[in-house]
Chains A and B, each alone.
Chain A
Amino acid sequence: MDKNKIIELKGIFKEYNGEQVLKGIDLDIHDKEFVTFLGPSGCGKTTTLRIIGGFVTPDSGDVLFNGRRVNDVPPYKRAVNTVFQKYALFPHLNVYENVAFGLRLKKEKESVIAAKVAEMLDLVNLRGFEKRSVSLLSGGQQQRVAIARALCNEPKVLLLDEPLGALDLQLRKEMQIELKKIQQRLEITFIYVTHDQEEALTMSDTVVVMNGGVIQQIGTPQDIYNEPVNAFVAKFIGESNILPGIMHEDYKVEFAGDNFECVDKGFRHLEPVDVVIRPEDITICPPSDKVINGLVESVLFKGVHYEIMVRAYSDLWKIHSTKAPEVGSVVGIDFTPEDIHIMRKMESSEDYAALEHLNEQRAGTGEEAGTVE
């Protein structure tokens, strides 16, 4: 993949009504990459997108396009186009005119416009809808028009602000695949904002997990899922069991009242850590001395698998399995060293406060704040 940086964000801070929405965003986005900003609502992902689009000006920090600072360039002069959350189609224009809007502004010839619009409508499977009124289209069709309209200007970067949020599950899944195909076919950069972790993992080359105006982790979907850097990412991406533990030495961790082998290293001696084990990585086995034993508290059918809650000492384990043990029975909880993910403690109030303090200090001195890693 071409690793040219197309967009760079450097130390972006933004405040709304006295509330810090972005607390030092540093991010490089590469050409032809599918990047997703993932996080809960209010984490600053949409604001970041709007800063790239030019609809919001950062309080401090720089936005660079191909190495050129564009902080003060208005949206209509930027080589990016946006697909808005609520489509934002022009209700007074039909499908054709909506898609042609950008080209008309460029004063293109009618023949050029007709060809381009036809191509775009083909791309989004809306051939034959040219003369329809956009208000008579379904949500999915409206979203396709919005995508065609944004792509018609041949942007270098397409920004998508939770574009599938209003669609039903089935349609959303179809559109996810379609969007990914479109991105690969056109070979342009997509920046996609979502709070749906599954969507992010399905479509992205790179996922940027955000929370509280700070980037928590940047990585491939596999990285983010398998190696979450902190408890927030682990909790937000998929389901997980997070247990407090202590690192004795490299590859040796103590948690749930026992010592385990693991594949992580580089921690201080006796450093308190968070241990993450994914529910689907755990196997249920007959109780024995070699594994943690627990009492099955509940079994819930979830379709593909059962969600089994097992109580072992004070810990409650969530386990996904295709086989359901009986409620009230005693089972063994088994996992391999590779299934154990060790993270530095983030959620202890002390550490968290320290992090906040660090960010505030950096904000105060205008220094570039680093991402949390």
Chain B
Amino acid sequence: MNNLRSRLAATPYLAWMIIFMVVPLALIVVFAFTTTVPCDAEGNILTDEEAYLIQEEETLIWEEQGTPEEERVSAVSEKTIFTVQNILEVNKYMPTMLSSIWMALVATVICLLIGYPLAYMISRMHFVSQKMMLMLVMLPMWMNFLLRTYAWMTLLERNGLINRFLGLFGVGPFNMINTQGAVILGMIYNYLPFMILPLYSVMTKIENTTIEAAQDLGANRLTVMWRVVVPLSVPGINSGITAVFIPSVSTFIISRMLGGGTNMLIGDLIDLQFLGNAYNPNLGSAISLVLMVFILLCMSITNAFDMEDKEGGMLL
């Protein structure tokens, strides 16, 4: 009875998941492994050239006979066929793929290095200060994403605020915008809160007495961190890494605004296949699919760390 009720209650969510997650995902897979090709009336695949020639010929005949528009039925039609060509073509974009992953990785590691001590400090603060600090961490997120990234443009520009300020001391100007560094900076700035929040929420659950117990048993500050706080915050580290790495690796706005088109990311490439001039949704889907596999691989690595702890019998 109870089981039935909970199943009923889950139905809308299940339907939602199927309509908006499973189906689109399946469509991406279908798109990635198919392509549309011209074919003749018998269904034989034609090359683009053959199709063009046939169509030219048909047009000539129709014009000679004066066939009205609505009666002109071409022998050439289009046909969707299975192909691995798209996937193989992704290989061409491997350097972009790898550099995207690399940059996202660098941004994630830096976010972790900045976010971890900060989250720990916040979690050990007085209750009121904790709320205050969390507000400050989240405050930038209330502003529009584009606006925040634009702000960095005006800061980093050749005639931007930073260069002008440095100019006062006769230093610079430095070329900061349109570099990999600027893109990574953009990623860190935009996604740092996503690192801090999960870390914080895990760390507040670590009791002060647990830390005191470690000190009591002979652990200095560093050992307490390494042997107690870090192992206990692994779940937070994992979600933080996921929350920063995935949007970083697939972003396209940040690289467009701060990378100036010279530092294309995989996100830009996908964007180009769907909305840009290189219109090819099949290739775009293939790139997405390959990226997804890469992300799954990366995530399974971090998850493996989590599982290791679980085997040790941790229940969190």
Partner-B contacts on A (CB < 8 A)? 53, 55, 74-77, 80-82, 84-86, 88-94, 101-102, 105-106, 131-136, 149-150, 153
Contacts and interface: CB of A to CB of B under 8 A. Distances in A.
Interface string B208-223: 0110111111111001
Contacts of A102: 217-218
**Pairs A-B, 7 closest by C-beta atoms:** A133-B313, A88-B209, A102-B217, A88-B213, A92-B231, A75-B215, A105-B218
B171 interface: no
A75 B212 contact: yes
Interface string B188-213: 00000000000000000001011011
A15 to B, nearest CB: 17
B220 A88 contact: no
Contacts of B210: 88-91
B232 interface: yes
A90 B313 contact: no
B217 A85 contact: no
Given A102-B217, A153-B217, A91 B314 contact: yes
Given A76-B219, A76-B220, A105-B218, A92 B213 contact: no
Interface of B: 207, 209-210, 212-220, 223, 227-228, 231-232, 309, 312-316
Contacts of B315: 91, 133, 135-136
A132 B312 CA distance: 9
Nearest to A131: B313
Contact of B313 (A77, A94, A105, A153): A94
Contacts of A86: 207, 209
Contact of B209 (A85, A91, A150): A85
A123 B169 CA distance: 71
18 contacts: A53-B216, A55-B212, A55-B215, A75-B215, A76-B216, A76-B219, A76-B220, A89-B210, A91-B316, A92-B231, A101-B227, A102-B218, A105-B218, A133-B312, A133-B314, A149-B217, A153-B217, A153-B218
Contacts of B313: 94, 131-136
Nearest to B313: A133
A106 B218 contact: yes
Given A88-B207, A90-B213, A149-B217, 8 more contacts: A82-B216, A92-B312, A101-B214, A101-B217, A101-B227, A105-B219, A105-B227, A133-B315
A74 B221 CA distance: 10
A93 B214 contact: no
A93 B312 CA distance: 7
Given A84-B212, A88-B207, A94 B218 contact: no
A97 B167 CA distance: 58
Contacts of A55: 212, 215
A136 B217 CA distance: 23
A153 B214 CA distance: 12
Given A76-B216, A101-B217, A153-B217, A84 B209 contact: yes
B217 A81 contact: yes
A74 B213 CA distance: 13
A170 B269 CA distance: 70
Q: Looking at A90, A106, A132, which has the most chain B CB atoms within 10 Å of its CB?
A: A90
Contacts of B312: 92-94, 133
Contacts of B314: 91-92, 133, 135
A221 to B, nearest CB: 28
B232 to A, nearest CB: 5
Contacts of A149: 213, 217
Contact of A76 (B215, B227, B228, B232): B215
Contacts of A153: 217-218
Given A76-B219, A105-B223, A133-B315, A90 B309 contact: no
B313 to A, nearest CB: 3
B213 A84 contact: yes
Q: Looking at A88, A91, A94, A102, which has the most chain B CB atoms within 10 Å of its CB?
A: A91
A304 to B, nearest CB: 37
Contact of B212 (A88, A93, A101): A88
B219 A81 contact: no
Contacts of A132: 313
Contacts of B223: 105
Contacts of A91: 210, 232, 314-316
A153 B313 CA distance: 24
Contacts of A88: 207, 209-210, 212-213
Contacts of A74: 215, 220
Nearest to A159: B216
A75 B215 CA distance: 6
Contacts of B228: 90, 92
A105 B209 CA distance: 18
B212 A92 contact: no
Nearest to B314: A92
Contact of A105 (B207, B217, B232): B217
Contacts of A77: 218
A53 B216 CA distance: 8
Q: Looking at B210, B231, B313, which has the most chain A CB atoms within 10 Å of its CB?
A: B313
A53 B213 CA distance: 11
